[in-house]
Amino acid sequence: MAENKKTTAAVRVKAGVLPGVREIKRPDFSKKAADIEKAEDTRDEMKTAAQALEAQEAAADRVDEAMVAMSLEAQEGEGAETLDESAITDEVHWYVAHTYSGYENKVKANIEKTIENRHLENQIFEVRVPMQDVIEIKNGARKAVPKKMFPGYVLVNMIMNDDTWYVVRNTRGVTGFVGPGSKPVPLSEAEMRPLGIQVQNVTCDFEVGDNVAVIAGVWKDTLGKVQKIDYNKQVATITVELFGRETPVEISFAEVRKSN
């Protein structure tokens, strides 16, 4: 009887733990869940703050645009301004357009977009916002930071006529050209030298629509018609007959002569 009692003695086992197996401590997920929730709250707060900042910047832009529009309307109300005839020229020069502070890059982008839309690539060649590197020392570290050389001004390389003057003058953010009244004055060579702008007096004896003859290069002895002139690259786009079809090709000014 004693042996039976000893054999059948019940073994007390802790719930969830097998005999002979060490109890495994369950991880506490509550703390990690709290950390995740806190991080999500912080992220939401940062997102809300960013949205508020974007809304403030958009509102500031709308205020600036409204001020510019009011200024343009006031100018129009005083009477339509026209370009001084003495400023009209067929030569390419750099001119300075005055802009509202902070509008330099917007003006540059708007003029370039208008050039593309109105196909004025042969009359307005380049728009620049001159920049320079300024050394700033912060926390003992030197850093080169790009800054505008002339805040409130944009340089335009163009042929001055009624159309080009109107396009630049009426670009949102532009208050006018530098010069007396409605007579824009081009930059001189001495004024352009500190800006890193090279003076190139490029002329050619042909215009768009003229028939020309190629006198050198792979297209030598070929006749064509001028479709486009790029004074910056000093090349002309002409159409030549290739395999029975008219094909546009770029030819250097030095390789082209006007034909009779």
Round the average pLDDT of the chain to a whole number and report it: 77
User: Any idea what DSSP says for residue 14?
Assistant: -
At 189 the pLDDT is: 76
Residue among 162, 172, 207, 191 at smallest CA distance from 95? 191
Cross-strand pairs, 138: 141
Has residue 214 got a pLDDT over 80?
yes
Q: Which of helix, strand or coil describes residue 139?
A: coil
What is the residue type of 84? D
Torsion sign over Cα 181, 182, 186, 187: positive
SS3 2: helix
Stated pTM of the model? 0.50
pLDDT at 236: 85
Question: If residue 100 lies in a helix (H) or strand (E), which one and from where to where?
Answer: none
Distance between CA atoms of residues 32 and 2, nearest Å: 54
Q: Which of 221, 103, 229 is nearest to 171 (CA)?
A: 103
For residue 113, the number of C-alpha atoms closer than 13 Å in the C-beta half-sphere is: 8
Query: What is the identity of the amino acid at 43?
Result: R
At residue 112, the pLDDT reads: 92
Instruction: Express each pLDDT in 74-92 by its tens digit.
Output: 555 555 678 888 889 888 8
- Domains of the chain plus CATH, in order, are 85-195 (3.30.70.940), 211-258 (2.30.30.30)
Look at residue 168 in the predicted model and tell me its pLDDT. 94
Please tell me which residue, 119 or 51, carries the higher pLDDT value: 119
Matching residue, tokens 């002339």: 150
Residue 165, pLDDT score: 94
